[in-house]
A = this chain, B = another copy of it.
Amino acid sequence: MKRKACAEVGIKSVDVDLPEDVSEADLISKVHQLNSDPDVHGILVQLPLPKHINEENVLSAISIDKDVDGFHPLNIGKLAMKGREPLFLPCTPKGCLELLKRSGVKIKGQRAVVVGRSNIVGLPVSLLLLKADATVTTVHSHTKDPEAIIREADIVIAAAGQACMIKSDWIKPGAAVIDVGTNAVSDPSRKSGYRLVGDVDYAEACKVAGCITPVPGGVGPMTVAMLLRNTLDGAKRVIGQ
């Protein structure tokens, strides 16, 4: 999908397919090679990596000027800190905020609940909403009575990876709901034998929410768009230098 989107907008994308048993050193050396290639403006390492490779070492090897996924801890640190600006925002969180803004959802002063605290979605989207002056609560697997907390939210970001976990009666009428979950559930009626559903029970929740993103077709395409945007911004910065 990312490849196709690049082709559509005229960004040249190059796949570097390495064998699954590639050594960490060889993978990092490949990253360094791309870091120093002036024709490359964005590098993304497809996760998850094989178990024998340390993800932290690989992601930290990406030049922060080309970290279009925004996962480098220096980018996350600057995203978290007041008065600092990361070079790139992680794509899915950036897409969530873009969806809220373009839908006219007020963020400042609103109660936001983020369900999930992963490094790639839950955590950075919490930090972004806080920077946008929402009052943010992060709900996770150890949270007691998540329903009660979610019910108070004007904005719900569901990124738990639990199929249809969030029911319609957990949602405050009129709330904005962004469903980041992409869960495969078995569906014998499909040729593939499965279908994708979000973390929210969409069919019922859409009757209560003020606005809600579907799965598939909601956050996913926006994530791809943000990746292209980050790559373009990175290229512009280099050209502007």
Contacts and interface: CB of A to CB of B under 8 A. Distances in A.
Interface of A: 56, 72-84, 108-109, 111, 117-119, 123, 127, 130, 133-140, 142-144, 149
Contact of A123 (B56, B78, B81, B109): B81
Contacts of A118: 82
Nearest to A113: B137
Given A76-B77, A80-B127, A130-B117, A135 B149 contact: yes
B78 A119 contact: no
Contacts of A76: 76-77, 80-81
B133 A142 contact: yes
Nearest to A108: B142
A144 B77 contact: no
Copies in the complex: 2
A205 B37 CA distance: 61
Nearest to A109: B142
Nearest to A154: B144
Contacts of A143: 109, 135
A88 to B, nearest CB: 13
23 contacts: A73-B77, A73-B78, A73-B81, A73-B84, A75-B77, A76-B77, A77-B77, A77-B78, A77-B80, A80-B80, A80-B123, A80-B127, A81-B119, A81-B123, A82-B118, A83-B119, A108-B142, A109-B143, A135-B139, A135-B143, A136-B137, A136-B138, A137-B137
Nearest to A117: B130
B73 A123 contact: no
Contacts of A137: 135-137
